[in-house]
Amino acid sequence: MPKRPRPRKRGAGKLEARAASILRAAPTAADRPTRAEAEGAVRTLIRWAGDDPDREGLAETPARVARAYDEFFEGYGLDPAEVLRRTFEETEGYDELVLLRDVRFESTCEHHMVPIVGRAHIGYLPNQRVVGISKLARVVEIYARRLQMQEKMTAQIANTIDEVLKPKGVAVVLEAEHQCLTTRGAHKPGASMVTSRMLGEFRDNPTTRREFLALIGKNGVS
């Protein structure tokens, strides 16, 4: 008898279609506009705002904006996982919490393209190896230098540390002020957003989670 085809998991077709759609939509180097096209787009926005891009004060603005975007979005050309690959195993068996607090970051809201400014707190429980603390800060910087949602950025940082270092647990908390909330729309200056991602021991062990939160000044959160 001919073999029956193996039944597909429910929803598999939708997942494959979604993955294919993402791959089709992903930009390639060939799709990237030229610097001249980028500057032309800035000129269009200046005109749309109601001003003259050729007047003295704005004549160099398109070029300045393009250069600024090189810096704001340099994270697209960098691999955060590669930053973490150099680790150290000579730790004398150290297996307690490693915590890096108050890592300032500046990112850009993907919905309104205005600044997100905040601080990241990162903790992990080593599993025989540790990484230089500057590398943790660099991972934050790489993800921040992209169009972002704070929730997504929190998960990206935690997941990358977890996948590369394979520690016993990872904890990431981001606190940030979003100018899409403070300077437009609801106009609520001073409001900040807090997001967290707990993996491994930090998710499963309330004591470990409380230790991390207490050390970053979030004693009332559990």
Q: Which residues are catalytically annotated? A: 109-112, 150, 178, 180
The torsion of the CA quartet 178, 183, 187, 192, rounded to 10 degrees, works out to: 20
CA distance 53 to 59: 6
Among residues 122, 117, 103, 195, which one has the least CA distance to residue 165? 122
User: In angstroms, what CA-CA distances link 155 with 40, 125, 163, 188, 211?
Assistant: 35, 17, 12, 26, 20
The torsion of the CA quartet 131, 133, 82, 111, rounded to 10 degrees, works out to: 140
- 94-124 b/e with 16+ CB inside 10 Å = b? eeebbbbeebebebbbeeeeebbebbbbbbb
CA distance 97 to 167: 11
